[in-house]
Structure 1
């Protein structure tokens, strides 16, 4: 969006000493028969109506974003929407698989959303929901948004592993899906790059970014090219940076500014 770059500079100066409310909750998953730790960041002194679901990366956990990018808390107070950081397991990729311990698509879409909306009294329609994340979580966010456009109107990814197939031996993916050379169909069905046909043009507003020195830079460029070829509107940003928290601490400012504009547009068009 046209104002994102200018917003970034302004926000760094405008962020103040206010601290949003940070809760760590246990949300029970019936299919996985366990409670999932989830951080919820909500604005102080404001009635929030919208929610951003913010996913962590491989080997990470629910606390990564608030611990490693604490400006998320100030941005929540600045914008007035809720940020939810669920634990996605060490290596779930936010899929449902044959393993009963890996039912994270169901957890987020059918259990977490209604729990958050009931507990924090936020709006429960797609125009008040966004989802994004980093690395494995960037892939997970787009994967869930593409498959569940009835639930999410806005989605993003920062440094996302948006095509898993060039990495057949990495990040324990074959433990979830089987070896790529044995199960190519399963890999195709679980990678964002092969799910673009699900996106109804104009139905999702998308913001994708990646650092130019990131090992996922090439697959993000290819996704950008494919979305462009298919006439699927999206915003694509590249910046100097690697696959690390130095980059994500900057990129989250752009991501959250984008979703703020999306939520504001929803409010003003009512």
Structure 2
């Protein structure tokens, strides 16, 4: 058992002894001016949320083929998480296959703008939030893991902490998969779109400690190799990050466990920012 996993277990035990599960789960409609449409999201607020103090926000992104309510439906832990970690959790709809890019081909797919700008502004306007990167985190699974790191690296003024679970952190080995060619063009015809929009090629945007990072991928996952490559490249650049790999595949049993590591890491980041 790694030291970080021991810390997680001890931390969870302490928090569980104090928590009472009375979160509020709302489905809201937001408007994207860039895509000219309404988009749904789930917003989970802790029992202690009464508008009297500001809370940090974690944006939790779904994977390919899923939707805004995927996390709540498939991860029972989410009904406890907002209380446990004392944060507002926002699960936006990222489209069936947006990959959270502003597609250079399809103007109806501007999910980078939506999540990092329009949605954040809407949440900060409707809820009592910490309105700075010190109180904002983003993570997700699979397509959403890619999306979380992609958005955080490009918008470090918005997000202070980011994570990924089983993320597609290097898209280039999968040129025929998951509708990515519909968003970027075929790899053989538009390689520049793939090269500049894959997370592993964006590390030049980071400096040590500019962004708190946690990356998790199961050792039997088809994305394991690209996640391990990302970990090694971050280490080469002396970029601090937490990297977790446990036995497991690309599935909900793994993500139900992984999300607790992500949220604890983010709570520790938020607490550290408050103490500064």
Within the candidate set 168, 180, 201, 1:161 is matched to 168
* Distance (whole Å) between structure 1 residues aligned to residue 54 and residue 250 of structure 2: 32
Contact kept, 8 Å, 2:74 with 2:252, in 1: the verdict is: yes
RMSD (CA atoms)? 1.6
Give the count of matched residue pairs.
Answer: 269
Q: Which residue of 1 aligns with 2:23?
A: 20
Deviations 1:247-270 (A, max 9, x none): 00000011111001001111112x
* Distance (whole Å) between structure 2 residues aligned to residue 178 and residue 204 of structure 1: 30
TM-score, length-scaled by structure 2? 0.93
- Tell me, which stretches of 5 or more residues in structure 1 are unaligned? none
Which moved further from structure 2: 5-14 or 30-39? 5-14
Helix, strand or coil: the match of 2:9?
A: helix
Q: Which residue of 1 aligns with 2:37?
A: 34
Q: Which residue of 2 aligns with 1:91?
A: 97
* Distance (whole Å) between structure 2 residues aligned to residue 108 and residue 217 of structure 1: 26
Deviations 1:91-134 (A, max 9, x none): 00000013121000011122100110110120111111000000
Contact kept, 8 Å, 1:50 with 1:128, in 2: the verdict is: yes
TM-score, length-scaled by structure 1? 0.95
Helix, strand or coil: the match of 2:248?
A: coil
The alpha-carbon deviation at position 19 of structure 1 amounts to: 3.0
The alpha-carbon deviation at position 3 of structure 1 amounts to: 5.3
- Tell me, which stretches of 5 or more residues in structure 2 are unaligned? none
Deviations 1:172-199 (A, max 9, x none): 1011111111111110111001101111
Deviations 1:3-59 (A, max 9, x none): 553333652682766131101001000111110110000101234420000000000
Contact kept, 8 Å, 1:41 with 1:76, in 2: the verdict is: yes
Deviations 1:148-180 (A, max 9, x none): 111111000000000000001000101111111
1:10 and 1:203, CA in 2 relative to 1: closer, same or farther beyond 3 A? closer
Helix, strand or coil: the match of 1:65?
A: helix
- Spell out the pairing of 1:20-169 with structure 2 (5 A cutoff): 20-46=23-49, 47-97=53-103, 98-169=105-176
Q: Which residue of 2 aligns with 1:249?
A: 256
Helix, strand or coil: the match of 2:245?
A: strand
Contact kept, 8 Å, 1:42 with 1:81, in 2: the verdict is: yes
1:178 and 1:244, CA in 2 relative to 1: closer, same or farther beyond 3 A? same
Contact kept, 8 Å, 2:20 with 2:83, in 1: the verdict is: no
Contact kept, 8 Å, 2:24 with 2:44, in 1: the verdict is: yes
* Distance (whole Å) between structure 1 residues aligned to residue 209 and residue 10 of structure 2: 29
Deviations 1:232-253 (A, max 9, x none): 1110000111100000000001
The alpha-carbon deviation at position 2 of structure 1 amounts to: 5.8
* Distance (whole Å) between structure 2 residues aligned to residue 171 and residue 122 of structure 1: 34
